[in-house]
Structure 1
Amino acid sequence: MLDVAAPAAPARVPTARRYLMCEPEHFTVEYRINPWMDPSRPVDTGLAVEQWTALKETYERLGHRVDLIDPVPGLPDMVFAANSGTVVEGRVLGARFRAPQRAAEAEHFRRWFLANGYRDVVMPSRINEAEGDFAWTGSLLLAGTGFRTDPQAHAEAQEVLGVPVVSLQLVDPRYYHLDVALVVLSEDLVAYYPEAFSPGSRRVLRRLYPDAVLATADDAACLGLNAVSDGRNVVLPVEATHLAEQVARRGFEPIPVDISELRKSGGGPKCCTLEIRD
C-alpha cells in the first residue's frame, strides 16, 4: 500500500489589527450574572492586572496596535471591552447590556469612540452585548442569541453596520455569549463547540464551515474558544491544549496565555479585546 502523505496545511498570513482594551484596575467578582461568577471565591486583582498586561504585550509583540480606555471605579467588568462595541469599516454599533450592573459601561465606550474621531456611532435600541455575541468574519456577521443579546438586535446590527447577519442560537448557559462558543480563525474558517448551539444552528455552521475545527468539552470548559486570531496567530488560554493542537494542524500558530484570574468572571482573551476595524 502506498503511503499517502497528509495534505500540507495552507500558509496563514497574519494581518495587523487594532484593539481596544481596559486595564482591570477595579476587577473583582461582587455579583453573579453568569455561571462562572461566584462572589464567595477570592479574587486577586493584582494577578488579574499582571495577566491582562501580559495579554496586551502579546498583542504588541505580534505587531498589533492596542488603544486603552480608562477603567472606571464601580465597574469591575469593564475589562471585558469586547462587550461594549462592534466596529466594522469605521461604523460603530454600541452596546446595551442586559445586566444592570454593567449598563453604565456602554456610555464610557461611546464617549471614547467620539473622543477618538468616530462620528458614525449608533447606540442600540435592542439589547446587544457587542462582540460578546457578534463575530465579524470579513464577509458575514455571525450573531449569537439565547442568553444575553436580543434576537431583534441582529436585524438592528445589519441595518446599522450594513453587513449580512447570520443568527445562531446558543443553548448552554455556560456558553452564554457567542465568543465563548466560537472563534473566527480566518474569513473562511472557524472553530466552535457544537453542543453550545441548537440543532438548527449546528446545521447552519456545518453548511457555512464544513471544515471547521470542532472543539471538545474540555476546550470549551476552559473558555478555550474565547480566543483572538489575526489570521495566523491564535491567542488562546493556556489550558486549551487540544484546541491549540487542532489549529496548529490547520497552519495557525497557537499563542497560549494565562488568563485564569479573569476567567473567574467568565472571561478570556477575546472578552478583553474589542477589535476596531476602520
Structure 2
Amino acid sequence: MTSTVVAAERMPTTRRYLMCPPRFFAVEYSINPWMDPSRPMDRDLAEQQWTKLHDTYVDLGHKVETIEPQPGLPDMVFAANSATVVDGRVLGANFRAPQRAAEADHYRRWFIENGYHNVVMPTRINEAEGDFAWTGKFLLAGTGFRTDPGAHAEAQEVLGVPVVSLQLVDPRYYHLDTALFVLNEDEPNIAYYPAAFSKGSQKVLSRLFPQAVIATAEDADCFGLNAVSDGRNVILPTEATALAKQLESRGYEPIFVEISELKKSGGGPKCCTMEIRG
C-alpha cells in the first residue's frame, strides 16, 4: 500500500538567530572537498548574498543578532559551527581544523557578554550545529568527518536532551547540516539525503521520520539541505528546485537565496545561521 502525504497548513514560529558578517571571508585553505584556494572568489558578492539572507530573516519577522567578525578568521561567517543552544543552555565548539580553532572563544565571549551564564566549552571535537540538529524532542548528532562520537554523549550531558547518533559516509557532506535539516519541531520532521549516511543511520532516520522529505542527489550537491526552516518558510539555495517542489507539496513555502560565493567554502544558509533557543 502506498502512503500519501497530505499538505498541511504550516504555521511559522518566530526565531532568534546569530550571524557573523563576512567582512573577512575568503577561501585561504582547504578543509573540505568544496574549498579550492586557487578558485576566484568575490567577497563583495559574498557580502551581498549574506546581507540578502540576513534581510530575508528580518522580513519574515525573526530576530537576528550579529557578532563582530575577526581578521584572520575567514570562516567565522559560518556561525552555526560555533555553538548549540537549547533551552538557554549553551554548548560551545571545539574545531577539528586548527585554522578555525580561535572562532570558538569569540562566540563564547559573545554569549557571556549577552547574559548567558550557562556556557560550557566541550572537551571533545564538536562543531556545534554543523553536526547537531535539534528536532524539538531530541538532538540528531552527526559524526564521521568532524565531530567526535564522544561529543554526542557530552552534548547529552550538557544540554540535558536525548541524542541520536548518525554516521556520515560521504566526504562532500562532511557536516550533518549539509545532508539534513529539520522542517518543523511541533511534530518533528526532516528533509535529508540518504546516501550521505551509513546503512544503519539510514534505517534509524527512516524509523524516526517515516514522512521525511527525501532529497535528490542534485539537491544535495547544490547545498539544498543546508536550509533553514521556521516551520513554514524554508530558506534554501536557488538551485534546489526539486526539493522546493516537494516542500510546496507538504505545505511549506520555499524562499530562494543565492549562495554561490559562500558555497566555495562549503557553506550555505544554515552554515551562516546559528539558532538561539531560549
TM-score bracket for the superposition, by shorter chain length: over 0.9
Alpha-carbon deviations, 1:83-123, whole Å to 9, x = none? Answer: 00000000000000000000000000000000000000000
- Tell me the equivalent position of 2:275: 275
Q: Residues 271 and 251 from structure 1, CA distance in 2 versus in 1: closer, same or farther, beyond 3 angstroms?
A: same
Paired residues of 2:5 and 2:211 also in contact (CA < 8 A):
no
Task: Work out the CA distance in 2 between the residues paired with 1:249 and 1:130.
Answer: 31
- Tell me the equivalent position of 1:246: 246
Letter paired with 2:168 = L
- Tell me the equivalent position of 2:54: 56
Q: CA shift at 1:45, angstroms?
A: 0.6
- Tell me the equivalent position of 1:27: 25
- Tell me the equivalent position of 1:263: 263
Match of 1:185, SS state, is strand
Task: Work out the CA distance in 1 between the residues paired with 2:208 and 2:5.
Answer: 22
Alpha-carbon deviations, 1:35-63, whole Å to 9, x = none? Answer: 00000001111100000000000000000
Alignment of 1:151 onto 2:157? no
Output aligned runs, 1:169-188, within 5 Å.
169-187=167-185, 188=188
Paired residues of 2:5 and 2:250 also in contact (CA < 8 A):
no
- Tell me the equivalent position of 1:74: 72
- Tell me the equivalent position of 2:116: 118
Match of 1:158, SS state, is helix
Letter paired with 1:87 = V
Task: Work out the CA distance in 1 between the residues paired with 2:259 and 2:37.
Answer: 18
2:41 aligns with one of 15, 40, 43: 43
Q: Residues 126 and 35 from structure 1, CA distance in 2 versus in 1: closer, same or farther, beyond 3 angstroms?
A: same
User: Percent sequence identity over matched residues?
Assistant: 74
Task: Work out the CA distance in 2 between the residues paired with 1:35 and 1:57.
Answer: 29
Task: Work out the CA distance in 2 between the residues paired with 1:7 and 1:211.
Answer: 7
Q: CA shift at 1:211, angstroms?
A: 0.9
Match of 1:261, SS state, is helix
Match of 1:144, SS state, is strand
- Tell me the equivalent position of 2:219: 219
TM-score calculated relative to the size of structure 2: 0.97
Q: CA shift at 1:8, angstroms?
A: 4.1
Task: Work out the CA distance in 2 between the residues paired with 1:193 and 1:82.
Answer: 20
Q: CA shift at 1:7, angstroms?
A: 6.5
Match of 2:260, SS state, is coil
The count of residues paired between Structure 1 and Structure 2 equals 273
Alpha-carbon deviations, 1:209-256, whole Å to 9, x = none? Answer: 011100000000000000000000000001000001111111000001
Q: CA shift at 1:189, angstroms?
A: 1.0
Q: CA shift at 1:181, angstroms?
A: 0.3
Letter paired with 2:102 = A
Letter paired with 1:74 = G
2:8 aligns with one of 10, 33, 48: 10
Alignment gaps of 5+ in structure 1? 1-5
Task: Work out the CA distance in 2 between the residues paired with 1:244 and 1:144.
Answer: 24
- Tell me the equivalent position of 2:228: 228
Q: Residues 7 and 141 from structure 1, CA distance in 2 versus in 1: closer, same or farther, beyond 3 angstroms?
A: closer
| Shift >2 Å, 4+ stretches | none
Task: Work out the CA distance in 2 between the residues paired with 1:256 and 1:241.
Answer: 9
- Tell me the equivalent position of 2:193: 193
Letter paired with 1:80 = F
Alignment gaps of 5+ in structure 2? none
TM-score calculated relative to the size of structure 1: 0.97
Q: CA RMSD in A?
A: 0.7
Letter paired with 1:212 = A
Letter paired with 2:109 = R
Task: Work out the CA distance in 2 between the residues paired with 1:12 and 1:259.
Answer: 26
